[in-house]
Amino acid sequence: DDGYRLWLKYDLLPDAAQRKAYQQAAQFVAVEGTSSPVLQSAVKELQLGLKGLLGQTVSVTAGAAKKQGGILLRVTSSANVTANDRSAKLNKEGYRVFSEKGNIVVAGPTDAAVLYGTFALLRQLQTQQPLTNLALTSSPKIEYRMLNHWDNPNGTVERGYAGSSIWKWYELPELLDPRYLDYARANASIGINGVVINNVNASARYLTPEYLRKVAALASVFRRYGIRVYLSVFWAAPKTLGGLATSDPLDPNVRRWWTDKTNEIYKTIPDFGGFLVKANSEGEPGPQDYGRNHAEGANMLAEALGQHDGIVMWRAFVYKANSNGDRFKEAYEEFKPLDGKFATKALVQVKNGPIDFMAREPFHPLFGAMPSTPLVLEVQLTQEYLGFATHMVYLGPLIKECLETDTYAKGKGSTVAKVVDGSVDNHQISGIAGVANIGSDRNWTGHPMGQANWYAYGRLAWDHTLSSAVIAKEWTRMTLTNEPKAVTTITNMMVKSRDIYVRYTMPLGLHHIMGQSIHYGPEPWLAKSARPDWTAVYYHKADSIGLGFDRTAKGSNALSLYKPEVQQAWGNPQTCPLNYLLWFHHVPWKQQLSTGRTLWNELCYRYYTGADSVTWMQQQWTQVKPAIDPALHADVAARLQTQRKEAIWWRDACVLYFQTYAKQPIPAPFAPPERSLEAVKQIVDIYQMR
Ligand code: BDP
């Protein structure tokens, strides 16, 4: 198994009796009413899935009204989806799958809804659930469920670890790689309905007529799966591409240029989704170059979209060069005052945490602080700071932790999830974005287990109330094995993997102590960089007294950006959850923590037990060997070996370096590292050698 088929494997189900029951329930497929390209995709998927799972060729029947034992695809207004249950109201993409007069009906108000229902039905079969008395009802809680690609026109992928870009620009638009279709199927199967195909550090090339035709060719494939394309835009395009003297958003010529360009895009791609913008961030141009603010920039693009059905997602990932304050606060300080100033078509896209996709961050303080602006939650699936494609880190728990945290914006229960889905502030539009982890590698994600992160993201974007363990189990059953014991073992590993990674890299709330630029491996000693907030010492602040960034009123006071309830939960070093401790407090080495250990001992404890847990993961993986495809098993086993080696690298680097400040021995029962700090530093030098 080379992993190409992802979770849409459709291998023959092992239990003959069960197969027989399924076969009887799925003898034909019929589209009620007129068919459409999206419904055709649903039909094709059913035929493919049933052929594989049941070994049964399923024909498409026209006018199946009097027949029984088939699957009916029905597009109908939400109120009449089913005669006997009107309780659950469906939104435009919601589906209901149920039994009716001896058939299985997949119904929803739109073609896309029926496609989603079709995948839900196939999931039932893949995970070997009964088909009798079916009643699956589900509507997505978030409207714009986006995958953001950081792909460049030259085929590289920024922070991509699974080969190069899957978009073959030099072959498009004439040649459509079959992979585009499989990509669309995978996305549709988990409910993703929008893809930004290019890097936020954008090239203007995508806005040229030549490239728009290429993008349109991709859109023609995605459209059949309910997916719309979006583009990241280069702010200075009016100058560089349009030959104008300025890219000032208030300049009438610039405004006209964007309006004309947008109209041209819609002519080429009638269902174009809209724009994603990284502006005045990490050297990218933006409206501030002309003394304008982010809202003025976003609103100009919203105006250019005019009557077209498109949106602007304006990123809040900003922090000024040479800031002497606390990077934690910068996006908040720039965007909070703009709340209420954004046009209705503009959403602000906010990373899950205030710094940058660390293995654990407190939620971004903008969530709950901009009630008049729909906020898109951006999470990173590509493991930039989480061990690239060699460390097994299942991200379900990370995404859930953020979604479930209470902002207290409108009292208790105002979780990040409810801010994002629009229910806290009653927004009509809502969005979520995952930075893709896929590339040209045959198995899409490099690490085979990375597929689970793409999967979990889509499932949570659809329904943030699902548990990450349930999703892990579902993915495992569809992708790896249905053998019950192995499913339990693998799910358990997955669910624990993120905490394990945190323990051997940045426990207790440490953050941003990774290798410079590459963001791989440990470099807590990094003290000089192009900017202070790109070093490690800026964040951990180790000294002879203790460790951690004081963000209370005595320090940077970033804590004050949160609501009082949150401040109370995190503001006292005695009661602050240990996972966030060093995010907010400078804690003395000898301070006793709630675990009974001193800070220094607890730090060592976490680094050592974290690294040891990778050995545990290896043992677990060995146990499931009989239940897993041999090639796939060997692939993951090899990556776990690397992970083990590098967990020890992290552990040794960090305990040896922090020991130079703590000046205490490694506590028993742990053995001090066998190498010196100098020796570990050399490893980093090798990784960064030119
Ligand atoms: C950082 C990445 C950088 C991205 C940036 C962003 O290191 O490559 O361009 O985020 O999100 O995490 O814009």
CATH of the domain at 457: 3.20.20.80
Specify the 3-state DSSP secondary structure of 95: strand
Of the residues 479, 510, 527, the one at which a domain ends: 479
Q: Does residue 634 share a domain with residue 514? A: yes
User: Hey, which residues does 473 pair with through a beta bridge?
Assistant: none
Q: Does residue 119 share a domain with residue 89? A: yes
pLDDT (0 to 100) of residue 158: 98
Of the residues 138, 154, 186, the one at which a domain ends: 138
Asked if residue 48 is part of any domain, the answer here is yes
Compute the average pLDDT of residues 89-117.
Answer: 95
Asked if residue 567 is part of any domain, the answer here is no
Asked if residue 562 is part of any domain, the answer here is no
Of the residues 105, 138, 171, the one at which a domain ends: 138
Q: Does residue 192 share a domain with residue 311? A: yes
Q: Which residue has the higher pLDDT, 87 or 374?
A: 374
Q: Give Cβ neighbours of residue 453 (< 8 Å, ≥ 6 apart).
A: 381, 383, 393, 394, 395, 396, 437, 445
Nearest-CA residue for ligand 1 atom 11 is 317
Compute the average pLDDT of residues 452-465.
Answer: 98
Ligand 1 centroid – CA 380 distance (Å): 10
Asked if residue 7 is part of any domain, the answer here is no
Domain count, the chain: 3
15 is catalytic: no
- Give the lowest-confidence range in 33-47, 61-75, 258-272: 61-75
Find the helix packing angle between 252-268 and 209-222, rounded to 10°.
40
378 is catalytic: no
Q: Does residue 162 share a domain with residue 97? A: no
pLDDT in tens, 587-625: 999 999 999 999 999 999 999 999 999 999 999 999 999
Q: Does residue 413 share a domain with residue 337? A: yes
Return the best residue to mutate from 151, 156, 159 for the ligand 1 pocket (most ligand atoms within 8 A of CB).
159
| pLDDT band with cut points at 50, 70 and 90 for residue 689 | confident
Compute the average pLDDT of residues 538-564.
Answer: 98
Return the best residue to mutate from 235, 315, 364, 384 for the ligand 1 pocket (most ligand atoms within 8 A of CB).
384
Q: Does residue 196 share a domain with residue 97? A: no
Enter the pTM of the model: 0.98
| pLDDT above 60: residue 519 | yes
Q: Does residue 38 share a domain with residue 117? A: yes
Compute the average pLDDT of residues 393-414.
Answer: 98
In angstroms, what is the C-alpha Rg of the chain?
26
Q: Does residue 673 share a domain with residue 642? A: yes
Q: Cα–Cα distance between 182 and 184 in angstroms, integer?
A: 5
Query: Ligand 1 pocket, 317 CB below 6 A?
Result: yes
Asked if residue 489 is part of any domain, the answer here is no
Specify the 3-state DSSP secondary structure of 555: coil
Nearest-CA residue for ligand 1 atom 10 is 356
Ligand 1 centroid – CA 73 distance (Å): 43
Q: Return the CATH number at 645.
A: 3.90.1330.10
Compute the average pLDDT of residues 671-687.
Answer: 94
Q: Does residue 251 share a domain with residue 359? A: yes
pLDDT (0 to 100) of residue 83: 47
Nearest-CA residue for ligand 1 atom 12 is 356
Q: Considering the chain, what is the average pLDDT of its residues?
A: 96
Residue 79's domain spans which residues?
16-138
Asked if residue 87 is part of any domain, the answer here is yes
Q: Cα–Cα distance between 80 and 87 in angstroms, integer?
A: 11
Q: Of all residues in the chain, what percent carry a pLDDT higher than 90?
A: 95
290 — phi, psi (to 5°)? Answer: -115, 20
Query: Ligand 1 pocket, 378 CB below 6 A?
Result: no
Atom of ligand 1 nearest to the CA of 278: 13
Per DSSP, 534 falls in state G
Atom of ligand 1 nearest to the CA of 150: 9
Q: Give Cβ neighbours of residue 678 (< 8 Å, ≥ 6 apart).
A: none
pLDDT (0 to 100) of residue 120: 98
Query: Ligand 1 pocket, 10 CB below 6 A?
Result: no
Tokens of 677: 């700090």
Q: Which of 93, 143, 296, 356 is catalytic?
A: 356
Asked if residue 580 is part of any domain, the answer here is no
Q: Does residue 167 share a domain with residue 98? A: no
User: Which helix H or strand E contains 431, and what residues bound it?
Assistant: strand 431-435
Q: Does residue 513 share a domain with residue 461? A: no
Ligand 1 centroid – CA 517 distance (Å): 10
Q: Which of 11, 15, 264, 282 is catalytic?
A: 282
Given strand 28-31, what is the order of strands in its sheet? 59-60, 28-31, 71-75, 103-108, 95-100, 135-138
| pLDDT above 80: residue 562 | yes
ipTM over 0.95: yes
Q: Does residue 172 share a domain with residue 126? A: no
- Give the lowest-confidence range in 74-83, 124-133, 201-210, 411-420: 74-83
Q: Of all residues in the chain, what percent carry a pLDDT higher than 70?
A: 97
pLDDT (0 to 100) of residue 86: 47
| pLDDT band with cut points at 50, 70 and 90 for residue 85 | low
Specify the 3-state DSSP secondary structure of 244: coil
Asked if residue 6 is part of any domain, the answer here is no
